Every structure is written in C-alpha cells, then in structure tokens.
Chain A
Amino acid sequence: MIRDLFLRFRRQIMIFLAVLGPGFITAVVDNDSGGIYTYSQAGARWGYLPLWTLLPITIALIVTQEMCSRMGAVTGKGLSDLIREEFGLRMTFGIMILLVLANLTNIMAEFAGVATSLELFHVSKFISVPIAAVGVWFLAVKGNYQSVERIFLFACVIYITYVIAGVLVKPDWGEALIYSVRPRLMLDRDYITMLIAMVGTTIAPWMQFYLQAAVVEKGITAKEYRQSRVEVIVGCVLTSVIAFFIIVACAGAYRGHPTDITDASQAALALKPFGSYTFLLFSAGLLNASVFAACILPLSTAYSVCEGLGFESGVSRRWSEAPIFYWLYTLLIVVGAGVVIMPKFPLVQMILLSQVLNGMLLPFILIFMILLINKVYLMGEWKNPKFYNLVAWLTVIIVIGMTLALSGLTLRHPA
C-alpha cells in the first residue's frame, strides 16, 4: 500500500522532470534586463508599496502561459503555425513584421543589459558585447536542443542571486509582507505609470510563441499535460518570487531616500554599502538575465517567423537548406548587439519603442490565443471551459488595457 503510493509518487516526479523545461524557462526569462530594471525602479522609488501587484501579475502570467502550453501539448503545433492556418497569410505576415521589430528592440535591450552589468566590473562594452553576441550565436547553432535546455535550466538557478541579495540588504520583512497583500492605490501619475510598466513588461508577445514552440519541440503530449501545467504554475510563481526580492532589495537599499533610477546598474551600485557580495550578486543576476534572454529571443523569433511563413527552419538544418532562418537569426543578433556598441545610437528611444511595439502586438496575439483555444476541432476535450474563458478574457482585457496605456504613456512622455 505505502510502497504503491511511493511508486506512484515517484512516477509523477519522473514525468514532471521529463516535462520540466519550457514553462519554467519562459516564466523565468520574463525577468530579463527590462523586467529587472522595472522592478528595481519600483522598489527604489516607492519602497514596498508596489509589492501587492505581484499577486495579480502572477495570476495573469499563469492564465496566459497555461493556455499556450496547453495548445502546444494538444495540437503539437506552434502558435505561429496555428495563426497561419486559421487566420491566413496576410494576418500572419503583419504579426510577424511586428514581432520581428518588437523582438529586435528587445534584443537591443538585452545586449545593453550585458554591457551595463559588465561595466560594473570594469569590462568595456566593446569587449563584452561582441563576445556575448558570438557566444549566443554559437550556442544555438552548434548545440542541440537538449543540451541548450539544460544550460537554460541552470541559468534559471542563477536567479537565486536576487533572493540572497534581497536577504543581505536586511529589509523590513514585516512591512514587506503587509504590502504584499494590501493594495495601495494613489492618484499619482508616476505611481500609476510604474504599476502599468510592471504589468506591461510581464507578459510579452514573444513569450507566447516561445513557450508553445518549446512545448511542441519537447514532444509533450496531452497525456503529460497535467505535469506540464504544474511546471508552468511553479515557474510563474517563482518568477514573481524573484521579482519580490528585487523590489525588496532596492526598497531596502534606498530606504529613507527614494530615488528615480535610470538604469538597473544604478540599483546594483546602491547595494554596495550592504557589502560587496550584495553588489556582486545583483550585478551577476543582471548579467545572467540579459545573456539568457539574448539567447532565447533571436532564436525564438527566427523560428516563429519561418514557421508562420512556411520557410524551412531549425538548427538541425544546414545554412543552404534554411537560408532565411539562419540569416534572420544572425541579423537579429548582429543588429541587436551592433547598435549597443555604436556611438550615439538612440538606444533609450529604441527600448521605449519596443514597449510600444509590444503593446501593439499583444492584443492581437492574446485574442487569437483565446479564439484558437476555443476551437473544438483543434482542442477537442481540452478546449477552454466556460469559467476559464471568463477568467482568460478578463485577464486579457486588463493586460491589453495596461499595455496600451503603457504604450500611450511612452509615446506622450518619452523618457
């Protein structure tokens, strides 16, 4: 009897480990250099006040991610494949153009993150960025998916640096816990902008494409889906835990003198008085997050575009067999890294532009997702139940509203 239970438990764990990867990685990469900056800024300026937003953000993240991984597991097709088959070429083409532009600007932000985090260690960006770009390129082209996924899972573990940094700052835990559950609204323009930015940076269009494609690539089926769902939820919760510690660390560092920071590296410097380890951990975390996202974004973009438009794709193919795939992948990295080391390039404006583009793209993608997941001939018994639809629509409408608001604010008050 007990032995039976143990065996069943062991089996569940084995399946969980077998499906571990896509959901976890996607959720964690969500805290990329842009995300870390937003959370640092929130903590530095407003202390513990914004912590309550993490709970609704987690729910929104879980709802959207769960739908993608379910579609991937049930249909065995990527999101761009499904959009193409159900909504036609023109729609797909438009979305892909926006996706490439939005992701390109995101990639710029990631390489900029690499540059600033290494500059904290006095490494010139003219050295760090080219090395990172070449490394990223080779990782995907020369590695196979399984080993790359293992590296990614390891990179997820490095995020623990933020938890340690948060603890080392010795924040006021009581206050932090109270504000985590007590919503605090203020009719202050900056405060509202900050709230919107937190939601807006959390759910990005590329994540939906990446997650679904990764679930398909991993061969997860509807049968193993329950374990896959657990993985998605654990990943999303962990992401918010990391965000919590980033905010707490910055809130602690700027206690008593709230500051508007313009860069995540500024937050790292502010942690110096709390010991060199705190500073080191925070900067290492930033570097890891930037490199990690820089690995995933170009590859995911090239895959989505080629699958949606019907070009050959995949790193298992040779350059001559999948030219468009490789050229797009290479160009995204070269341009994304190139502009960071180009003097006088309007990088800040580009990163703001990426927020606007994300905001334009996200409504389409989320609405398509809900439409797709309600098609019986695609999803069968796995289509959205009524209650879930209600939650999903509600989430989607709020997220879209927030993201559009962020784009609007960015356009009206650039930087």
Chain B
Amino acid sequence: MTAAENTNLLFFTELVGLPVFDLKHRRIGRVRDAAVVPLIHPSRVDRILVGGGSAWLSVRYDQVAEISLRGIQLSNEKLYPYHSDEYMLRIQRDLLDQQIIDVNGRKVVRVNDVTLEISHNGSDSLNVLEVDVGVRSIFRRLAQGVIPSRMVRYLQSPIPPNSIRWEFCNIVEADPLRRLRLNISTDKLEKMHPADLADIVEELGRADREAIFEAIDSEVAADALSEIDPRMQASILESLEPEVAADIIDEMDPDQAAAALSELEAETSEEILDEMERDPVFEVRELLEYDFKTAGGMMTTEAIQLHEGLEIEAAVAQVREQADLIENTHVIFLTNGDGRVTGAVSLNRLLLAGPGTRLRDLAGDRLISIGPHAKEDRVTELFDKYNLLAMPVVDDDGTLVGVITADDVISVLRQK
C-alpha cells in the first residue's frame, strides 16, 4: 500500500495548518506545531498546539476524537493556553530542518518531514513513526500548501521514500539541562562502533559534538576520540571540563592519549594531566617526552613481559592475570634476569605450544627492535621488511620502554 492511499499515515507537513473543530463543529483555529513529551511516552504526540486568535492553545492527546486530512475533531473543549514547556520536544521548532543521528544507518541526517501514524483506538491519536529525509520529503515540503494534500500524495508516490524509523533516531541537543529534561539518552550512541561514532561526531557542528562527548560514557568517548582527526580531538578536549577530559584520557591507550594531549596547549594539557589518575598519568607523561614523529611518539607503554625461562602453563596463567592489556597485544616479550628484552613470542605460537615448553624455545631467532628516538620512517620500513605485528622499543641498556603495533604504523601511513 502506498502513502497515497494509506489513510493511517499523516505527514507532519499535512498536520500543520489542519483546521481544529470544537464540539459544535466550529473552527477554533489551525494546527501550528505538535510536541512529543519523551518523559511520558517516547513516540506519542502528546500535545497539538493550535493557533487561534492571539494565543496558542494546547490540545492534549486525549482531548482528540478524530484526525483526518479534513481536520481535527475535539472531544473535549477545556483547552489551556500554550505556555512554553521545556519538557516538550516540538516537532516544528526542535526537529524540522535540524540534524539528527541515524543510529542504524550510522550517519547524520537533516530532517525534512516527520511521518505520523494515526491509531484508531476509540479516539484517534498520533504517533511519530518515521523521520523523513531525501528527495521525496523535500518535494512534499515544497509542494504542501501550494497544491492540495491529496495531489501532493499522488505526485510524490513515484519518488522512492527515504525514512528512518523513530526508534533509530538520536536527537542532538547541545544544552545539557534541556537534554536532561527531554530525557534524551545516549545508549544508542554508546552501542555503536567507536569508529562509526567518530565519523558521525566529525560531521556535527561544534556545540553538538562537544555535547555528545560530555554526555556519553567515558570509555566509549575514549574509543571514539582515538578515531577522530587530531586537530578535532584537541578542540573537543579543550571544550570539556578538565575533569571530564581527564576521565576520557584515562580510558585511552597511553600512546593515543599522549598524541591527543600533544595537540593541546601546554597549559590545558597540564590541567588535564593534573586531574588524571596516578597510574596512567605517569605513562602518558613519559610518552609526551618523545617527539611525535619518532618511535617513542608512536609507541604505547602497555605490554606484557614475561621471564624467558617460564614454562608454557605458567606463562599462560600470567597472561590471564594481565587480561586488561590483551586487547592491543599480539606479541609477548621475553626478558632475562637483568630485565633486558631477549625475544618475542606471538600469541598464536603460545596457543599451539606443547606442555612443558619453555618460552625461550618459542621465540624467533632474531629480535627486531628499535630505539625510542628512531624516526617514524625507519619504523614503517622495518614493519614492512620483516612483516611485523608488533615491535619492541628498547632503550640503550636493552630494557623495554614500549611497543609499536601495526595499527600505529597504519595511522602514520594514512596521515601521509
């Protein structure tokens, strides 16, 4: 069934301007706007705002008897004048022409129109069904009011619709108080892949972007921030309260954190570092010492180091204990008695090793490593030549100071 015949659907552009009739079928005014109150119901149109005479009247959903393209028939005449209510999400004012996030399609879209569904349940009420984007809704917006609604419906039917279901929409609201009152949650955003969230955030205006980072969970924020362009990272971090920024930086990998902080002004980054927890802050400060374009600037300080003499069972047990480091770990580094790095064992070798094997016997013949002050070009060259997944960064006396992983190398190459 197409929208031309579907009488259960009402577009917001059609709703605006519909005449409203009282019990004696006298016209009291025309619809000006409609509002959802998310605290009460996520999608029901709770209020219809009617302009008649000088003031606007507010019609509650249970005061309506019938809704059709001909007009709205009321069942109750006790209407109150509309006064600005901050709990209302007004479709015309707050939604139309604004940007929202399509969580499912993972992109930012601009709202052209809203599709409402009329449910006949004794008396008629409206529910927000979809947010319309694309050519069809643009046509409808332009034609509505110029030619009759039925004609608009007929003419638009050949254009393919492009809509987003209301439950997959995330409204962007920069004002934190209003966001709270409107009950706009960020769960949907938090469930997205950080890289997708990063793409979305890059597309928004500055205020909206900062609002999202202030609202979402700091762990999600950290993952997303790592994926964002460094210059934009800096502007986001600068806009946040130092404590909020510190929480986010805390959750980032030390190398990413150092990269983000190095883009900031010294004063701001010092403020954030002061707010951070003790453990990570030490590592981040250490990393900030190195030039951005050297091995030291690329590496992270998080790595698993085990003694070369360990047997496989004990080794696996120790790896389990350091489970929080496993995400970016592809290789485990072996040390001897004086803390020098002697070899590397990849995780898959560890998996396949027979019982009783010593780590020393699993390591490759030659350990490829690099000093912290080596140039980044040298690093990428070594990764390419030896097909590495990870490379240890060691200082002059041979102790491990950090690890460079393949994704660090990819980032460097991408930026060229």
B112 pairs with A310, CB closer than 8 A: yes
A380 to B43, CA, bound (A): 33
Nearest CB in chain A: distance from B364 CB, A: 38
B238 at the interface (CB under 8 A from A): yes
Interchain CB contact under 8 A, B138 and A93: yes
Given A88-B97, A90-B141, A310 contacting B133 (CB threshold 8 A): yes
Name the CB-closest residue of B to A81.
Answer: B205
**A336 CB-CB contact with B under 8 Å:** no
User: Does A85 lie within 8 Å of B238, measured CB to CB?
Assistant: no
Binary flags per residue of A66-109, CB closer than 8 Å to B gives 1, else 0: 00000000011100010011001110010000000000000000
Q: State whether the Cβ of A120 lies closer than 8 Å to any Cβ in chain B.
A: no
Q: Which residues of B lie under 8 Å from residue A223 when comparing CB positions? A: 238
Contact of A219 among B96, B107, B112, B229 (CB under 8 A): B229
Main secondary structure of the interface of B (DSSP, over half): mixed
How many chain A residues touch B (CB < 8 A): the figure is: 17
A76 in contact with B207 given A219-B232, A221-B235 (CB within 8 Å): yes
Q: How far is the CA of A221 from the CA of B110 in the complex (A)?
A: 24
Secondary structure type dominating chain A contacts = helix
Q: Mark B134-174, 1 if CB is under 8 A from A, else 0.
A: 10001001100000000000000000000000000000000
A310-B231 Cα distance, complex, nearest whole Å? 25
CB within 8 Å for A75 and B97 given contacts A90-B142, A93-B142: no
Report B264 CB to chain A, min CB distance, Å. Answer: 11
Inter-chain contacts of B207 with A (CB < 8 A) = 75-76
Nearest Cβ in chain A — how far from B36, in angstroms?
Answer: 20
The answer on a CB contact under 8 Å between B138 and A77 is no
Q: Which partner residue on chain A sits nearest B109 by CB separation?
A: A310
Set of chain A residues within 8 Å of B209, measured between Cβ atoms: 76
Minimum CB distance partner of B13 in chain A: A89
Judge if B188 is at the interface, Cβ distance under 8 Å: no
- Could you say which residues of chain B place their CB within 8 Å of the CB of A81? 205
Q: Does A119 contact B (CB under 8 A)?
A: no
Q: Report how far A48 CA is from B238 CA in the complex, Å.
A: 52
Once A93-B142, A310-B109, A310-B110 are accepted as A-B contacts, the answer to whether A75 and B231 lie under 8 Å apart by CB is no
Q: Does B98 contact A (CB under 8 A)?
A: yes
B159 to chain A, nearest CB (A): 13
Given the known interface contacts A219-B229, A309-B138, the answer about A84 and B110 at a Cβ–Cβ threshold of 8 Å is yes
**A74–B133 CA distance with the chains assembled, in angstroms:** 27
A190 in the interface, Cβ–Cβ < 8 Å? no
In the complex, whether B293 has a CB less than 8 A from a CB of chain A is no
Q: Which residue of B lies closest to A86 (CB)?
A: B97
In the complex, A312 has a CB within 8 A of chain B:
yes
Convert A310-339 into 0s and 1s, putting 1 for each residue whose CB lies closer than 8 angstroms to a CB of B: 111000000000000000000000000000
Complex CA–CA separation, A310 to B142 (angstroms):
14
Q: A81, A219, A312 — which one has the most chain B CB atoms within 10 A of its CB? A: A219
| Any A CB within 8 A of the CB of B181 | no
**Contacting residues of chain B (4-27) with chain A, CB-CB under 8 angstroms:** none
CA of A81 to CA of B134 in the docked complex: distance in angstroms? 16
Given contacts A76-B206, A84-B97, A89 and B112 within 8 Å (CB-CB): yes
Query: Separation in Å of the B82 CB from the closest CB of chain A?
Result: 21
Binary flags per residue of A347-368, CB closer than 8 Å to B gives 1, else 0:
0000000000000000000000
Quick one: CB contact mask for B225-259 with A, threshold 8 Å, 1 for yes? 00001011001001000000000000000000000
- CB-based nearest B residue for A321: B107
B232 surroundings in chain A (CB, below 8 A): 219
6 A-B contact pairs sorted by A residue (CB < 8 Å): A75-B205, A76-B209, A88-B96, A90-B142, A93-B138, A311-B134
- Given contact pairs A76-B209, A84-B110, A89-B138, enumerate 5 new A-B contacts (beta carbons under 8 Å): A75-B205, A88-B97, A89-B112, A219-B235, A221-B238
